[in-house]
Structure 1
């Protein structure tokens, strides 16, 4: 009986102490300042330079300047769900809870208003950066020197955890774990909410997108120049291109972090979900670009030229071009063709005008499939486009017209190619190549049929290498080409 009384007394004592919660990396899995800066660079690039100039007045002034321009959507931030559930339970028992953060007060107030569980907000105010000693002084002043409980995640929270009545951690980083252990700070609760780091890194790199870079092997295969050294050059070029492509995907994800969080599936991407920090993404970009570009030392200079063009155009697409209707799909289709041209450069294999023409029409059609599918899915859900792409749901029939026409134009180019004299130099029985045409008609028609039904939910090139029917059609085309060659 005495023991139960002590337990109840301890619980009552805990509930009497105010519970203070850090924001960045704790309540929210990401760094809201980094997210805001990335959103600023994407949405207001001209204002970014003046904003960084405010750093001369201190970090608090910089945070205030960024917050005055960018307003993160509090409803779609990646919250630590186990922690949020705990806070709601404590609030239900009458606990006083405070959001105490180094983030700017405007952002902190919006988050507090959205969640509706905080009794007060203590945050940076444009002149004082509320971290470390400043935060501890602020809490002592707020609570008249009385004890408080604290939940944090990083090294700046160490001082607060040392002085807290009850110390708790949420997604703590390795540095804080080590310091807490070395200083023998008793941690009463852990709130973990993040995916495996290894899994998140692989997901951010988007290994499945490397399938697009198989196009580098196309010039070599079509020229029937399967020599060991050329094959090795193509393999080397494939990895150089893939590393750089992954770097550009990460840049795109970082700049699109706010829009991705509002998307049904893209919100699960590592940076949008808060499983990886923006700083980690920047390091990954540097490493991947360095690996890809250094690898070009062993390949012809023309390959580096095409790879550099790909990087520049892709970054331009991420920053601006994807917002311009039709220009975006022309750029996307062009990037596929650049892969083929890079493959030709890596292996010193000439690119025929037939292959160039075929790829331009085919990839323009596939780029339009991607946009058409997005519009089709929005129309089915009764939503209005809000990603700044420049399209309207009313454009959907015109997009279908453009895309199907371009797809069939690619087949016409292929038909003219196999009717020409150059084919006889590569194939002993060129007339057999005509058997490929019905398979191509079947595939491009099926792609657009599935898109029209709202059943195309991914990049069409990735669809092509994962869809069973597409793979069977691909095998049939390869078999026919071999049959024609001998």
Structure 2
């Protein structure tokens, strides 16, 4: 819940900083601040109230957890004001944010930190991030200077060279997690499901216009929803030792 709070603070701040650019974006113009559904003054009030409360409560829960929350916040504030202007670093910052979220979950539950799982998260979010950049370039088609200047630093060819490597790294990292770090030795059984999900997602990117909103692909595509449900069922079954 605390990470949701600090993430909300970051999203509010980022949307406030980018409000004018978002208004010129064909997709982001529908965001609450850019569209005018929520006033900037109201968003600023929420930010001022929410952010300090989350930071204080995080350190009360656990000093290490609080430090992760603080690092996440500082990193994303830096992203909102400057780091998103640097090619590749912009996507790396987003990926690090998701790794910090996963790391905080491991620390709060007291579990051993699964290095291969964190690498899986890192590579998967890089895969999603660069796919999003690719779709933004195709959507804006020459208007990148008016919305996100950093997009002009990317090219479809460059991203297409990165994606196969990231796909391979994601699959290998997840395979290593399922073999060496998972609680069940049969966790490798979930690997084909994960691979199918990645390939299905890549296929859908070439067929739909949902690349800028990865969550919508998961919500709208029935095969991916089925794959996620199947993964959850197999995972719970393995953790419950139903197959042993």
Band of TM-score, shorter chain: 0.7 to 0.9
In 1, Cα distance between equivalents of 2:54 and 2:220: 26
Gaps of 5+ in 2: none
Deviation of 1:368 after TM superposition, in Å, equals: 1.1
| Number of residue pairs matched by the alignment | 239
Encode CA deviations 1:19-59: one digit per residue, 9 max, x unaligned.
xxxxxxxxxxxxxxxxxxxxxxxxxxxxxxxxxxxxxxxxx
Residues 458 and 390 of structure 1, relative CA distance in 2, 3 Å threshold: closer
Q: Give the structure with the higher percent helix.
A: 2
In 1, Cα distance between equivalents of 2:153 and 2:10: 29
Residues 478 and 273 of structure 1, relative CA distance in 2, 3 Å threshold: closer
Of 303, 306, 313, the residue aligned with 2:65 is 303
> Match for residue 472 of structure 1?
226
Residues 297 and 313 of structure 1, relative CA distance in 2, 3 Å threshold: closer
1:451 pairs with 2:210:
no
In 2, Cα distance between equivalents of 1:462 and 1:341: 25
Q: Give the structure with the higher percent strand.
A: 1
Encode CA deviations 1:103-132: one digit per residue, 9 max, x unaligned.
xxxxxxxxxxxxxxxxxxxxxxxxxxxxxx
In 2, Cα distance between equivalents of 1:483 and 1:460: 28
Spell out structure 1 runs of 4+ moving beyond 4 A: none
Q: Mapping of 1:227-246 within 5 angstroms?
A: 239-246=1-8
User: RMSD of the TM alignment (CA)?
Assistant: 2.2
Retained in 2: the 8 A contact 1:366–1:403? Answer: no
1:385 pairs with 2:175:
no
1:337 pairs with 2:99:
yes
Gaps of 5+ in 1: 1-238
> Match for residue 413 of structure 1?
173
Partner-residue secondary structure (3-state), 1:363: helix
In 2, Cα distance between equivalents of 1:468 and 1:455: 16
Retained in 2: the 8 A contact 1:336–1:363? Answer: yes
Q: TM-score under structure 2 normalisation? A: 0.87
> Match for residue 271 of structure 1?
33
Deviation of 1:257 after TM superposition, in Å, equals: 1.2
Retained in 1: the 8 A contact 2:79–2:93? Answer: yes
In 2, Cα distance between equivalents of 1:254 and 1:261: 11
Deviation of 1:334 after TM superposition, in Å, equals: 0.9
RCO greater where, 1 or 2, for CA within 8 Å and sep 6 or more? 2
> Match for residue 366 of structure 1?
128
Larger radius of gyration: 1
